[in-house]
Amino acid sequence: MVTDADFGYPAWRGYIEWVYRQLDAQKQFTADTGIAWPNKPATRFEAMIDKATGYADKHAEAFVLWASEQYGIQYCPPSVQEALSRHGAASAAGRATGAR
């Protein structure tokens, strides 16, 4: 999706990594999207289901798109801007899997 050649990539990536660890951002993401912050699977069976359904990947994509909207789409790398316009940030976040 994003290449290192994208202008602004290091700053955007740093922002995504930082905001991912912020409890307030996690709560706001859930409030804005209705998608619960994932818990560590309690059992191996739960982990297998998550892997088979792509739960973590869908959640990560929705979070990155949501966080990129917060960052300011105009400041995101071109490939992220393209993904946001292609998917529509709000609809992409809403398509991710919901709470367990």
Rounded Cα gap, residues 93 and 60, in angstroms: 9
Cβ-count burial 26-55 (b if 16+ within 10 Å, e if not): beebeeebebeebeebeeeeeeeebeeeeb
| Stated pTM of the model | 0.70
Residue 6: the pLDDT is: 60
Within 8 A by CB and 6+ apart from 54, the residues are: 97
The predicted model gives 19-45 an average pLDDT of: 91
Residue 72: inside a domain:
yes
Residue 100: inside a domain:
no
Instruction: Note the pLDDT tens digit of each residue in 49-96.
Output: 988 998 888 888 899 989 988 888 888 888 788 878 877 644 444 444
Residue 3: inside a domain:
no
**When comparing pLDDT for 45 and 84, which is higher?**
45
Residue 2: inside a domain:
no
Residue 4: inside a domain:
no
Domain residue limits at 31: 9-95
3-state SS class at 37: coil
Query: Is 47:41 a contact under the CB 8 Å cutoff?
Result: yes
**When comparing pLDDT for 80 and 4, which is higher?**
80
Residue 52: inside a domain:
yes
Number of domains in the chain: 1
